[in-house]
Amino acid sequence: MLGAVLSDDIDGQILGTLHNLEEINLSQNRIPTLPLNFFKAQSKMKYLNLKNNLLETIAFRISHMKNLKMLDISNNKLLHIDSYARNQLNYLKSHSDFLINLENNPLQCTCDYIKFVKWMVSTERHLENVHLYECETSRGKKQILVSVMDVYLGLEKACYSYDLLAVGISGAILIFICILCGGLVYRYRWKIRYFYHMVKIRHYKRRPNMWDDDREDYMYDVFVAYADDDRIFVHTTLLQELEKEAGIELCLHCRNFLPGNDIATNIISAIHNSRKTVIIMSHNFLNSYWGMYEFNMAKMESIYERRHENILYLVFYEQMRSRDLPIQILEQVQSQSYIEYPNDEYGNEVFWNQLITALRS
């Protein structure tokens, strides 16, 4: 058997001197493959017999054999003719009236090889005994190619349905992933925003020692978050009672926010640089986007920077029903970190004493 010897002849030396060779019979040699340049010197070849071998592909060059009449590659292991071999055979079709015999190969008529089946349709008159070829379908059944065109049309229809199914499944998976990612982003939106701005602040802060997690020095005692419609109460009553009389240094956005920084960065910087955060809770605050932003960022600061230390206090400036409050506000109320602003003089004194005590704790 010459199979092993021929397979190793990558330079075409075995037939290298036979330039006028027109016919060769290499059948029944158990040849698994032939190198690209094995027949490089045989440009005058007319009859090439490779039947009854173990070839799985036409990897050797034949496009220079312009006089080729017959390529017999029957009884091998070919599943299909790959694009390289098809291009060679198409070139030969345009220069000679040759025949190729693929009989008794385990040819595949599946979606993976639909281009090969289509090629057989266009090459049918060059395929010797094509109507005797057997082709295996995707279901593992063998069918005789009585009509190559009918086989191709049926396969095209089946593959189109398969492609639609594959696209549909892929689309459904993509939509599911998008919904899942969107849900996760929405669920953790405050955490994402918080960490984004914290990284931004840490990167640009000129005095990094102020950002140590275990620091005891803060720029402010209390950051006050409030709606703009409640500013009169904050700028007069609250400022007077807490800062001027109790000596608690407040951070107010109208006074202490740095010009040039975006609002979100200023808010997180103020919360991070303040020992406590006080929310002036009102209907105006609930209707304010930045108000709820301040509340959620203070929650994130408490959880991720202060090791779950309670730094957030709610001051209910107005009477509010539980059903009017968002779930995250209700959770904070249930933790008892809130105090109601009274309407009587005696209550005022108790209120301020309680608030000052809480903020100094």
Full set of structural domains in the chain with CATH: 3-160 (3.80.10.10), 206-360 (3.40.50.10140)
The values of phi and psi at residue 103, to 5°, are: -60, 145
- What pLDDT shows up at residue 206? 47
d(CA 70, CA 50): 10
Q: Do the bridges between strand 70-72 and strand 47-49 make them parallel or antiparallel, or are there none, so unpaired?
A: parallel
- What pLDDT shows up at residue 306? 80
Taking residue 256's Cβ as centre, other Cβ atoms within 10 Å add up to: 18
| Burial per residue of 303-336, b for 16 or more beta-carbon CB atoms within 10 angstroms, e otherwise | eeeeeeeebbbbbbbeebeeeebeeebeebbeee
Bridge partners (DSSP) of residue 312 are 277
Q: What is the pLDDT along the chain (361 residues), one digit of tens a residue?
A: 677 899 989 988 999 999 999 999 999 999 999 999 999 999 999 999 999 999 999 999 999 999 999 999 999 999 999 999 999 999 998 877 889 999 999 999 999 999 999 999 999 999 999 999 999 988 888 889 988 998 888 888 888 776 676 777 888 888 888 888 888 877 777 677 666 666 655 655 544 443 344 445 789 999 999 999 999 999 999 999 999 999 999 999 889 888 888 888 899 889 989 999 999 999 999 999 899 889 988 888 888 778 778 888 999 999 888 888 888 888 888 876 788 898 776 778 889 998 999 888 8
Question: For residue 347, how far is the Cα from the chain centroid?
Answer: 58
- Please give the span between the terminal C-alpha atoms of the chain, in angstroms, as a whole number: 95
DSSP letters, 45-65, are --EEE--SS---S--S--TT-
- What pLDDT shows up at residue 301? 86
Bridge partners (DSSP) of residue 72 are 49, 101
- What pLDDT shows up at residue 210? 38
- Residue 16 corresponds to which tokens in the numbers above? 């290298």
- What pLDDT shows up at residue 194? 67
- In order of 144, 197, 266, 291, the CA distances from 204 in angstroms are 74, 11, 13, 25
